[in-house]
Chains A and B, each alone.
Chain A
Amino acid sequence: MAELSNQLMAFTVLAYLAAMVCYAAEYAFGKRSHIGRAAARPARQLVGAGGPPPAVVEDVAPSATADRPERDRSAMIGAIAIGLNVLALLLHLGALGTRAVAAGRMPWGNMYEFILSVSVVGSIAWLAVLSRKPGIRHLGLFVTLTMVVLLGANGLIAYTPVGPLVPALNSYWYLIHVSTIILSSGILLFGAVPAAAFLIRTRYDEGKRRFPYTLGKRSPAAETLERLTFRLHAFAFPLFTFGALIAGPLWAEASWGRYWGWDPKEVWAFISWIVYACYLHARATPSVKRTTATWLALLGFATMLMNLFGVNLFFEGLHSYANAG
């Protein structure tokens, strides 16, 4: 079972990679055809439903007809990208599930499993939001890129063979504390994607045409991205508060005898919480520009990454369950 989990993991990364290539290809093709993104949409839905490419509707302008084969192809690639993304998520869930079965417990016992879980939450959040707002499909490139990097790095740096829990984790707080942290971290990490896209799009709208800003050309409207960023963060922030600042201290009191002890993990959770609190305050303050606020959200993302990787790898503390290096 553990073997199966590892193989599924490898296929998961490959599937995310393939989805990423397709998102990127669609991006590239999409740039050439300026006309009729709306026209491409029904075609994509039909292809996605498994039917043959629909017959060309004849009442469009002749200039558009010249581009048509290319546009169909781009829409088709987009649909394939989503299909691969879903496949990758299923493989991802499979890898996590088999890992849990192999270990006979929830798969949150070490850094490898933790990152596996956090990324699955991020991936589900992405597809859930995508199903409600198909317009943000172009963010898929960033999402899958993040997934490939995160999971690849996880497999290389943090891989840990399946094993039972260390005694310190043998508590019901393990379920409560770790699950809420995984859920909130996943959503906060995913929240960085619309945040970055918003900043790129804003600069694009201001007339910037150099490399990173050109990515904003096909991204959803700045306002949509900004609102999505806020809603993801507003949803995840109380969860993170509960997981890190209530459930965590409750467990720490039972396990280590104090509810807060400035362990490196605690310090960085505190820092992340404050930075995200800064973001929420800044966003609620009319005099602070939305771009400034969004930069704070990205800073929060950086502190979360620091907590996920940096603290586990560089500092030694009570949360050292990672088996890395």
Chain B
Amino acid sequence: MTIVEETAAPPASPPPRRTNPVWALLRNSWRQLTSMRTALVLLFLLAVAAIPGSVLPQRSVNAERVADYFRANPQSAPFLDRLGMFDVYASAWFAAIYLLLFTSLVGCVAPRLVDHVRALRTVPPDAPRRLDRLPQHATAERSDQPAAEAANVAASLRKRRWRTVVRECDGGRWTVSAEKGHLKEAGNLLFHFALLAVLAGVGFGSWYGWHGNRLLVQGADKGFCNSVTQFDDWSLGPRVEASDLPPFCFQLISFQAAFQDSGQPKSFRATVLVDGDGAVSKRDITVNKPLRLPGATVNLLGHGYAPILRYTDRYGEQQTKVIPFLPRDDMFTSEGVATFPDVNIDPRTEKRDENLQVGFEGVFLPTVSPDGSPASAFPAERNPALFLTAYRGNLGVDAGLPGSVYALDRGQIAAGKLRQVSGARPHELKPGQAWTLDDGTKLEFLGTRPFATLAIRHDPTQSLVLGGAVIGLIGLMFSLFGHRRRVWFRFSPLAAPEGVPGGTLMEAGGLPRADYPGFDDEFQGLVKAAEEDEGTP
């Protein structure tokens, strides 16, 4: 029966082992993915994919610029938006690249970790037969017996922190094998695992972190409490509820800015009154010193001026508003709009006339330049003035549509529902001055209050990211500056006349595992040390 089988089977090919094609495909794909070539391509792709984020405005960096881009390029912007070009670093394709890269990384370093642990537990291999074939080679004659010589050399190597093994071979020969530089691979692995920790930290940080921005005008009436309804804009991580925000309140007591004569800023300091956990304290925020509260950090991002405007309507009713004007240049030429929708209400009918709403639009200059240019000449208030244009009619604020609080509704103006009622040139108002409009109503410019723009945020995994980065750097340095290398010594008894103990022939060989220009010197040093140890026990 066996014979029949032998003749039936073709002699050259063993019985074909059927590999599952799906399994084969998976295995080959995995091998491809974890190959260095793929990793390099992915790394390179990641670099290329990051470029559009610096060329095109990004929502996460500056949403207003994205809106500007949409206005300037109405044709291409929606198309680019569909490709995620305005959210590059949150886009699916960017995530696909780095997730593939990290998968490739895990596939590459996990087996290497296993190998490395195995390498750490195995002893250095015995000397090769021909030590003179190695890149480094030396011979010397020694007077002692092989065993004693080997013990000497091994002790000297161990003192230099080499992993050393002494072996006795046939014919009275002894070999010493030594290995050093496992830190290179350990550092390399550490670096790559630290990268994983950084990725995990960044990921969890975006899940469990939150941030919001708030423009805070000075004064107790303009205080802020930490909840999403009080932010100007905010974003919570997917795992954060609005109720998770730590409770604290603060108000801006004062804001000090100092400038050079050139207008270049020297220092900013915002002083706030913080009310958190029942305790009230006065704290300073400067540009590089954020206010660190439990569960939140408050950074000072910018500042500006909020003119105080009092409007007296045709029935003598007064309304006062403090309106932040947003700076548009380094000299704090600031733009803003003051709207008074609930004015000119007839006290007899108590009905609001929608066509008698009032709005003012214009610029605030902290220092009017003597040459009459429409831009401020200095960022501090040396000669402040408001330049306003008055509008009356329907402000369009009742439509329920969200509009900018820093500009009037252009649609209402275009439709003729909101009409300009002042002269062709904006009206200049100094602090304390009043401006009587054509219908007898009056606007007074009472002065300004400073405001500060604050970023309030929390990232619970910041320290994990930092720790990962620091450990990664340490690993990187071991990996770049470490060198794995092996040396062997072989001691063979020399033939000697009867009765007299013969000497020993020492052969040494060295093998660097990677490009290591200093190995030559190190090897010579080791051989020299072995020769100098002669005589000492």
- Which one of A171, A230, A258, A278 lies within 8 Å of B44 (CB-CB)? A278
Separation of A282 and B287 alpha carbons in the complex (Å):
42
Interface size class of B (residues with CB under 8 A): 35 or more
Separation of A257 and B268 alpha carbons in the complex (Å):
16
- A sample of 8 more A-B contacts (CB under 8 A), given A255-B299, A278-B43, A282-B40, is A234-B480, A246-B466, A246-B473, A251-B288, A256-B455, A271-B51, A274-B50, A317-B61
Q: Point out the residues of chain B lying under 8 angstroms from A246, CB to CB.
A: 466, 469-470, 473
Q: Quick one: CB contact mask for A263-280 with B, threshold 8 Å, 1 for yes? A: 110011011001101101
For residues 35 through 61 of chain A, which have their beta carbon under 8 Å from a beta carbon of chain B? none
- Which one of B47, B466, B470, B473 lies within 8 Å of A274 (CB-CB)? B47
Q: Point out the residues of chain B lying under 8 angstroms from A303, CB to CB.
A: 47
Q: Point out the residues of chain B lying under 8 angstroms from A163, CB to CB.
A: 260, 262, 264
- Which one of B43, B46, B60, B287 lies within 8 Å of A167 (CB-CB)? B287
Q: Point out the residues of chain A lying under 8 angstroms from B290, CB to CB.
A: 254, 257
- Tell me if A168 is interfacial: C-beta within 8 Å of chain B: yes
CB–CB B54/A171 < 8 A: no
Q: Point out the residues of chain A lying under 8 angstroms from B372, CB to CB.
A: none
Separation of A261 and B59 alpha carbons in the complex (Å):
11
CB–CB A167/B286 < 8 A: yes
Interface segment out of the listed B12-20, B128-136, B386-394, B457-465? B457-465
- Tell me if B477 is interfacial: C-beta within 8 Å of chain A: yes
Separation of A31 and B60 alpha carbons in the complex (Å):
57
Q: Point out the residues of chain B lying under 8 angstroms from A257, CB to CB.
A: 211, 290, 297-299, 301, 455, 457
Query: In angstroms, how far is the closest chain A Cβ from the Cβ of B74?
Result: 22
- Tell me if A70 is interfacial: C-beta within 8 Å of chain B: no
- Tell me if A213 is interfacial: C-beta within 8 Å of chain B: no
Q: Which residue of A lies closest to B476 (CB)?
A: A238
Q: Point out the residues of chain B lying under 8 angstroms from A285, CB to CB.
A: 36, 40
- Tell me if B289 is interfacial: C-beta within 8 Å of chain A: yes
- Tell me if B21 is interfacial: C-beta within 8 Å of chain A: no
Where chain A touches its partner, the secondary structure class is helix
Q: Quick one: CB contact mask for B182-223 with A, threshold 8 Å, 1 for yes? A: 000000000000000000001000000001000000000000
CB–CB B459/A258 < 8 A: yes
CB–CB A258/B211 < 8 A: yes
- Tell me if A7 is interfacial: C-beta within 8 Å of chain B: no
- Tell me if A129 is interfacial: C-beta within 8 Å of chain B: no
Q: Which residue of A lies closest to B46 (CB)?
A: A274
- Which one of A171, A253, A262 lies within 8 Å of B61 (CB-CB)? A262
- Tell me if B37 is interfacial: C-beta within 8 Å of chain A: yes
CB–CB A253/B462 < 8 A: yes
Query: In angstroms, how far is the closest chain B Cβ from the Cβ of A91?
Result: 28
CB–CB A167/B268 < 8 A: yes
Separation of A2 and B202 alpha carbons in the complex (Å):
45
Q: Quick one: CB contact mask for B285-314 with A, threshold 8 Å, 1 for yes? A: 011111000000111010000000000000
CB–CB B473/A241 < 8 A: yes
- Tell me if A227 is interfacial: C-beta within 8 Å of chain B: yes
CB–CB B54/A281 < 8 A: no
CB–CB B54/A288 < 8 A: no
Q: Point out the residues of chain B lying under 8 angstroms from A282, CB to CB.
A: 40
- Tell me if A170 is interfacial: C-beta within 8 Å of chain B: yes
The chain B residues found within 8 Å of chain A, CB to CB, are 36-37, 39-40, 43-44, 46-47, 50-51, 53-55, 58, 60-61, 88-89, 202, 211, 260, 262, 264-268, 286-290, 297-299, 301, 455, 457, 459, 462, 465-466, 469-470, 472-473, 476-477, 480-481, 514-515, 517
- Tell me if A29 is interfacial: C-beta within 8 Å of chain B: no
- Which one of A164, A245, A275 lies within 8 Å of B266 (CB-CB)? A164
Q: Point out the residues of chain A lying under 8 angstroms from B53, CB to CB.
A: 262, 267
CB–CB A315/B54 < 8 A: yes
Which of A171, A249, A271, A275 gathers the greatest number of chain B CB atoms within 10 Å? A271
Q: Point out the residues of chain A lying under 8 angstroms from B265, CB to CB.
A: 166-167
Q: Which residue of B lies closest to A163 (CB)?
A: B264
Separation of A285 and B298 alpha carbons in the complex (Å):
46
Q: Which residue of B lies closest to A233 (CB)?
A: B480
Separation of A301 and B290 alpha carbons in the complex (Å):
35
Query: In angstroms, how far is the closest chain A Cβ from the Cβ of B393?
Result: 37
Q: Which residue of B lies closest to A323 (CB)?
A: B264
Q: Which residue of A lies closest to B292 (CB)?
A: A254
Which of A171, A250, A258, A284 gathers the greatest number of chain B CB atoms within 10 Å? A258
- Tell me if A242 is interfacial: C-beta within 8 Å of chain B: yes
Query: In angstroms, how far is the closest chain B Cβ from the Cβ of A298?
Result: 14
CB–CB B288/A254 < 8 A: yes
Query: In angstroms, how far is the closest chain A Cβ from the Cβ of B9?
Result: 39
Separation of A146 and B432 alpha carbons in the complex (Å):
60
CB–CB A254/B289 < 8 A: yes
For residues 291 through 318 of chain A, which have their beta carbon under 8 Å from a beta carbon of chain B? 303, 311, 315, 317
Separation of A173 and B61 alpha carbons in the complex (Å):
23
Q: Point out the residues of chain B lying under 8 angstroms from A204, CB to CB.
A: none
- Tell me if A63 is interfacial: C-beta within 8 Å of chain B: no
Q: Which residue of B lies closest to A245 (CB)?
A: B469
Q: Point out the residues of chain A lying under 8 angstroms from B517, CB to CB.
A: 227
Q: Point out the residues of chain A lying under 8 angstroms from B89, CB to CB.
A: 262
Separation of A274 and B202 alpha carbons in the complex (Å):
18
Separation of A107 and B267 alpha carbons in the complex (Å):
19
